Structure 1
Amino acid sequence: MLGSSSEERRRTDAEKALERSNAELDIRVHQRTRELNSAIADVRENELRFRTLIELAPFAIVVIDRAGHIRLASAAAYRMFGVDEGDLLERSVDDFLPEELGVKHIGDFDQDPEPRMLGLSRPLDAHRLDGTRIPVEIGLSPAYVDGQQMIVAFVSDISERRAAELLAAERAESLEQSNQELEQFAYVASHDLREPLRMISSYLGLLSRRYTGQLDDDADEFIHFAVDGAARMSGMIEDLLQYSRIGTQGGELHPTNSGEALSEVLRDLSMAIEEGEAQIEVGDMPWVMADSTQLRRLLSNLIGNALKYRGEAIPEISIHSEFKNSRWEFTISDNGIGIDPEFHDRIFRIFQRLHGRGEYSGSGLGLAVCRKIVERHGGQIWVESRPLGGSLFVFTLGEAQSQKEAAKEF
């Protein structure tokens, strides 16, 4: 009896332990089920968000497996490639995307699965189902779907931008051709006008020498006007001829010591500087990429204007340079009569004068020549009014190597 009772208790204890284990197991199963259901819900929610983002994206999105088959595509992709919904799936990427993203290049991406852009340096064309081509840019990014490495391609249709670029290029080419024709016309016109004008000037000079003082005062005045007009026209034609030659007969751009060019200009202007008792301040001048002849003319025109358009005070001219945004920026400031801001653009146009000929000499081409020289060098030129009077002319030129390195090229 004693043994039977002990056996009964052990069985009862075992049954109770089993019940507790089953209860704990049920709790764990229910808990695990809730966690699994929650995870599944999260996955479905994330998948829904992902698909929503794909569908709402303004560009085409294509997910490609390592065999080169399209596994997922956005609505924009179906519209871009001209196929019905679902017809892209499991098709080869070679049917639609450029060779750079073809099956044979997917292995290269596997070797270096880093995000990258295609179509930035050279044009890429995707293919529609009807055979037409679409200019595109493509962004690639690695992704893992169901434990497998995939490639996500973000495809942007750049047809409108490509068309705008082509139109801009055509307009630029047309403008360049028009400019060349205009330069050629200016050259031919000014060149062909020189000989008849030379003859007119010669006979007007002869008329002046022979008959000045022998006719009445009106005749002398008329002869003087004719001689002066012929001289001014000759100067304008010569300036126009030089202006037309800037783009067609300019020298090669090479490393040039702007300090030496400036020193030569100041020597050429030494008489005007001495007569005006001008004070010239010069900072460090760099090496730049330039046509040295045109650089000297540019500096001569700007410094010459600073000497010409002086005020009542002794001229003070400062010439400096500073390296900014990968280019050298030159400044030439003066304390002269200054320029009204409303004329800051106009003064760089051809034959534009702000003063009468009786006040200051010149044809009105000097600053137009400066702008053309600077633009030929790939730079910019502008003018600013100084707060205390005078003008500040600024122009930019490309950087050159150091003096030591530049010397090796010669």
Structure 2
Amino acid sequence: MRGIVESATDAIVILDDSGNIVLFNFAAVTMFGCSREQAIGTPFNRFIPERLRADFAAQLLTQREESHPEQGGASAEVALAMRSNGEEFQVEISFPQVLAGTSEVRTLILRDITARVRIQKALERSNLDLQQFAFVASHDLKTPLRSIGGFVQILERNHAASLDDKALALIRRTSDAVRRLEQLTDDLLSYARVSSHPKPFILVQVREVVNDVMQLLGAAIDDSGSVVTVGDMPEVLGDRTQLVQLLLNLIGNGIKYCQGRTPVVRVSAHRAEREWVFCVADNGIGIDARHHEKVFEVFKRLHTQQEYPGTGIGLAVCRRVVEHHGGRIWVESAPDEGSTFSFTIPDTSAESSSP
């Protein structure tokens, strides 16, 4: 047993009833920069910053009262520790309680998570920087794009009579390109806003959200002759604007990606465990199984602009909105067999009613 303890990569420290160290393995020596001779017999709280020692002592007491030796009683928490040179660092600490004969042995297992925390913070900063870049770049692009679009319209309106067919075709292509760029900047702004400008969640009637979406898609529904049916919808805790955006993208895609037939879209919801599962099913062109994950990535498009216009950001926005609400999103589909996009949102009523 001692060989296993000594070869462990995590620091293992055993305390007596008074909180003094009786075992200090090699990983603990390395972690705290303190020899066994210096550690054995001293209070473990010497390795806790002084301002936190009272809280740590209370935590040890709580763990002792709540843990059960026969079950292992292990739980893990993040805490702030201190090396022998005074340097503070974060550790993941677990408190397994075991029996040695008839006595309970308080064991601490510690893992230095300094590198993990550093990487996590770097990723958070990187994501924030990317969001800010997308927001600023998209916002700053809108003004010159409007100017270009305006100048092209003036050119076509005032000088169309003096231009040949080739020049007019170039103007139309320029206007189309400007419109696509404006749509792209709008979509980028939407993508960046999901996480960078969060609003407090409120109770939202999803049926009202769907009604708003139906109004926004009114022209597309009328032009395509689409049939959109909506089942009973629950009340959820969320960002109403983002939920409109989510269902606008999913229902809009069901109408758009339909060829040679009348689009039929069904919106439904059912409760499962402690969450609501929403489904948007269509009879469209479908998606090959190898693309089921890729469609939720930014700028992933499975079709050309000529086939189906778009920016490839809509489903990425959907995934970000769903994850922001603590849910998940997936698609079930096959080519020419339609698609069913499903997503979940936690059922807060279940949480509030649970004991």
**Superposition TM-score, scaled by structure 1 size:** 0.67
Give 5+ residue unaligned stretches, structure 2. Answer: none
Q: Which residue of 2 aligns with 1:140?
A: 97
Give 5+ residue unaligned stretches, structure 1. Answer: 1-52, 406-410
Can you list the C-alpha shifts for 1:322-359, whole angstroms capped at 9, x where unaligned? 33453322221111001122322332233332222222
Q: Which residue of 2 aligns with 1:318?
A: 266
Letter in 2 for 1:276: S
Partners of 2:195 and 2:129 in 1: how far apart?
A: 12
Partners of 2:319 and 2:259 in 1: how far apart?
A: 25
Q: Percent identity?
A: 32
Match of 1:189 among 137, 150, 160: 137
Residues 97 and 125, structure 1, Cα contact 8 Å, conserved in 2: yes
Deviation at 1:361, TM superposition (A): 2.4
Partners of 2:333 and 2:119 in 1: how far apart?
A: 34
Q: Which residue of 2 aligns with 1:260?
A: 208
Deviation at 1:227, TM superposition (A): 2.2
Deviation at 1:303, TM superposition (A): 0.1
The two structures, once aligned, show a CA RMSD in angstroms of 4.1
Aligned ranges for residues 81-96 of structure 1 at < 5 Å? Answer: 82-83=35-36, 91=41
Deviation at 1:305, TM superposition (A): 0.5
Whether 1:123 and 2:71 are equivalent positions in the alignment is no
Kindly name which structure, 1 or 2, has the bigger radius of gyration based on alpha carbons. 1
Match of 2:159 among 211, 218, 228: 211
Residues 138 and 155, structure 1, Cα contact 8 Å, conserved in 2: yes
Deviation at 1:120, TM superposition (A): 2.2
Name the CA shift for 1:77/1:193 in 2 (closer, same or farther; >3 Å). Answer: closer
Aligned pairs, number: 336
Name the CA shift for 1:78/1:343 in 2 (closer, same or farther; >3 Å). Answer: closer
Aligned ranges for residues 252-331 of structure 1 at < 5 Å? Answer: 252-324=200-272, 326-331=274-279
Residues 302 and 332, structure 1, Cα contact 8 Å, conserved in 2: yes
Partners of 1:105 and 1:378 in 2: how far apart?
A: 29
Deviation at 1:309, TM superposition (A): 0.6
Can you list the C-alpha shifts for 1:4-37, whole angstroms capped at 9, x where unaligned? xxxxxxxxxxxxxxxxxxxxxxxxxxxxxxxxxx
Can you list the C-alpha shifts for 1:371-393, whole angstroms capped at 9, x where unaligned? 22222223222222148711121
Deviation at 1:297, TM superposition (A): 1.1
Aligned ranges for residues 4-403 of structure 1 at < 5 Å? Answer: 53=1, 56=4, 62=14, 64=16, 82-83=35-36, 91=41, 114-115=68-69, 117=73, 120-123=76-79, 136-141=93-98, 150-159=103-112, 162=113, 166-324=114-272, 326-386=274-334, 389-401=337-349
Residues 346 and 352, structure 1, Cα contact 8 Å, conserved in 2: yes
Name the CA shift for 1:287/1:219 in 2 (closer, same or farther; >3 Å). Answer: same
**Superposition TM-score, scaled by structure 2 size:** 0.76
Partners of 1:157 and 1:300 in 2: how far apart?
A: 48
Deviation at 1:308, TM superposition (A): 0.7
Name the CA shift for 1:216/1:258 in 2 (closer, same or farther; >3 Å). Answer: same
Deviation at 1:301, TM superposition (A): 0.8
Partners of 1:372 and 1:322 in 2: how far apart?
A: 22
Partners of 1:104 and 1:271 in 2: how far apart?
A: 64
The DSSP-based 3-state class of the residue aligned with 2:96 is strand
Residues 256 and 400, structure 1, Cα contact 8 Å, conserved in 2: no
Letter in 2 for 1:152: V
Name the CA shift for 1:185/1:103 in 2 (closer, same or farther; >3 Å). Answer: closer
The DSSP-based 3-state class of the residue aligned with 1:123 is strand
Deviation at 1:360, TM superposition (A): 2.0
Residues 228 and 265, structure 2, Cα contact 8 Å, conserved in 1: yes
Deviates further, 74-83 or 359-368: 74-83
Deviation at 1:199, TM superposition (A): 1.9
Partners of 1:382 and 1:245 in 2: how far apart?
A: 22
